[in-house]
């Protein structure tokens, strides 16, 4: 059926009418590509920022996560009693737990002496923390007080810590006015809430943040035995534990963080609005091109109608023009989007990349944009009266 629709006439009238005026065609394709690039970048930034907000969350070796109900996001984590995590061990499905301290502390750049907030995680060096198996031997370096593991993927504003350490230099700095030494490097990646990360023991963490109560933690990781249903265990823990703790699955913990940036900030609205503006700009450009094309060839269309061609056949020509514009306008937008995503990843380390969902979404938006514009341009042809034209 589609083939009949596309090749209903031996003469490719739609493509010939488009290439008849190369300048107009080039302007149309440039406008569509620009709108596509704008949509790619806006949606890419939005999704990339949401993904970046849970960089650390995804790495946790846990099936269930306990947090305080007063916590709102990774940049505002409240404490809750550590004994709630110990109480979770009462369930037979629970295999192990890991108490974690989580807070933003001031790191002093060892080169420039400037300070910048860094996400610090405190845990017992003998407890599993991340799914990365290479962390366990490095964690043993934290048994000595005042030692930290620095994230080598942190922003360069924290100083050349990774370079100095790899060169064999002793790297020391200050956190909240306390002296620390870098004992090793890890690779976590920046998040939207933190430009850098470091790990330390809970003992060192309490030294860096002395106001932290000894029995208080910000995150509790619970690992279940193989085959255990995490959703069912969450329900059991909610019934077992007081209301001073919130029990979430790991996916729920990730959603908790992303929902904060999506609903409690203007990020989602701003980038979605930017994509919508690109869509509107593209609609205007395509409509102007198709409307001008129909208007310029109105006598020819009227002649064909007078010769007996059905109106639907002529409308199909306009539709095929819209399809061609959508296809050939999308291809350069996709290529440019790939290049710009690479540039953004290199410059900001944000996880911005092309995926099938976004590529399909933008193509669908461009297709709808061109079809809607073609539909509006058709009205000029539908309203045309051969008698009036001649």
β-pairing, 147-151 with 115-123?
unpaired
Q: Quick one: pLDDT at residue 8?
A: 47
Structure tokens at 46: 């939005």
Whether the CB-CB separation of 228 and 237 falls below 8 Å is answered with: no
Residues 6+ apart with CB under 8 A from 218: 67, 68, 71, 77, 78, 79, 80, 100, 101, 102, 103
The b/e string for 125-161 (b: 16+ C-beta within 10 A; e otherwise) is bebbbbeeeebeebbebbeeebbbbbbbbbeeebbeb
The structure's pTM equals 0.73
> What CA–CA distance (Å, rounded) separates 320 from 339?
29
Asked if residue 384 has pLDDT above 70, the reply is no
Show the 3-state SS of 169-226: CCCEEEECCEEEEEEEEECCCCCCCCCCEEEEEHHHHHHHCCCCCCCEECEEEEEECC
Whether the CB-CB separation of 99 and 82 falls below 8 Å is answered with: yes
Split at pLDDT 50, 70, 90, the class of 150 is: very high
Structure tokens at 68: 């305080």
Asked if residue 387 has pLDDT above 60, the reply is no
Q: Furthest-apart CA pair in the chain: how many Å?
A: 94
Structure tokens at 294: 């129909």
Tens-digit pLDDT profile for residues 199-253:
999 999 999 988 888 889 999 999 999 989 999 999 999 999 998 999 999 999 9
Closest C-alpha among 276, 237, 272 to residue 86: 237
Asked if residue 3 has pLDDT above 60, the reply is no
> What CA–CA distance (Å, rounded) separates 223 from 173?
34
CB atoms within 10 A of CB 58: 15
Structure tokens at 102: 């989580």
Count of residues in the chain: 390
Please list the alpha-helical segments (H only) found in the chain. 2-6, 13-19, 22-52, 55-59, 83-87, 135-139, 161-166, 202-208, 230-240, 250-263, 267-296, 298-306, 311-348, 356-382, 386-389
Q: Quick one: pLDDT at residue 88?
A: 92
Element (H, E) at 119: strand 115-123
Higher-confidence residue: 274 or 101? 101
Angstrom CA distances, 14 to 28, 279, 283, 315, 316, stand at 15, 23, 19, 10, 9
Tens-digit pLDDT profile for residues 50-70:
887 788 888 999 999 999 999
């Amino acid at each position: 059926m589609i083939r009949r629709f596309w090749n209903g006439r031996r003469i490719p009238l739609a493509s010939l009418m488009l290439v008849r005026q190369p300048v107009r065609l080039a302007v149309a394709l440039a406008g569509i590509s620009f709108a596509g690039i704008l949509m790619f970048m806006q949606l890419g930034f939005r999704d990339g920022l949401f993904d970046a907000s849970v960089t650390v969350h995804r790495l946790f070796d846990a099936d269930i996560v306990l947090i305080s109900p007063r916590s709102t996001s990774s940049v505002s984590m409240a404490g809750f009693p550590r004994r709630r995590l110990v109480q979770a061990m009462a369930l037979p499905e629970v295999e192990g737990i890991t108490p974690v301290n989580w807070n933003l502390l001031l790191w002093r750049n060892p080169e420039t002496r400037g300070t910048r907030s860094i996400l610090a995680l405190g845990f017992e060096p003998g407890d599993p923390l991340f799914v990365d198996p290479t962390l366990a031997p490095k964690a043993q370096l934290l048994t000595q007080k005042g030692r930290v593991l620095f994230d080598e993927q942190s922003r360069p504003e924290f100083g050349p810590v990774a370079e100095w350490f790899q060169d064999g230099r002793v790297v020391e700095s200050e956190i909240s006015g306390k002296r620390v030494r870098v004992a090793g490097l890890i690779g976590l990646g920046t998040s939207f809430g933190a430009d850098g990360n470091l790990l330390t023991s809970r003992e060192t963490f309490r030294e860096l943040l002395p106001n932290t109560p000894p029995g208080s933690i910000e995150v509790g990781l619970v690992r279940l035995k193989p085959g255990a249903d995490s959703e069912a265990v969450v329900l059991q823990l909610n019934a077992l534990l007081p209301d001073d703790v919130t029990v979430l699955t790991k996916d729920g913990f990730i959603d908790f963080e992303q929902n904060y940036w999506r609903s409690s900030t203007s990020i989602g609205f701003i980038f979605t609005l930017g994509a919508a503006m690109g869509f509107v700009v593209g609609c205007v450009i395509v409509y102007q091109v198709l409307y001008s094309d129909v208007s310029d060839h109105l006598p020819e269309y009227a002649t064909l109608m007078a010769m007996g061609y059905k109106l639907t056949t002529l409308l199909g020509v306009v539709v095929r023009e819209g399809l061609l514009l959508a296809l050939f306008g999308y291809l350069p937008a996709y290529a440019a989007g790939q290049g710009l995503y690479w540039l953004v990843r290199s410059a900001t380390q944000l996880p911005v990349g092309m995926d099938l969902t976004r590529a399909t979404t933008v193509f669908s938006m461009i297709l709808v944009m061109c079809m809607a514009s073609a539909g509006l341009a058709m009205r000029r042809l539908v309203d045309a009266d051969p008698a009036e034209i001649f």
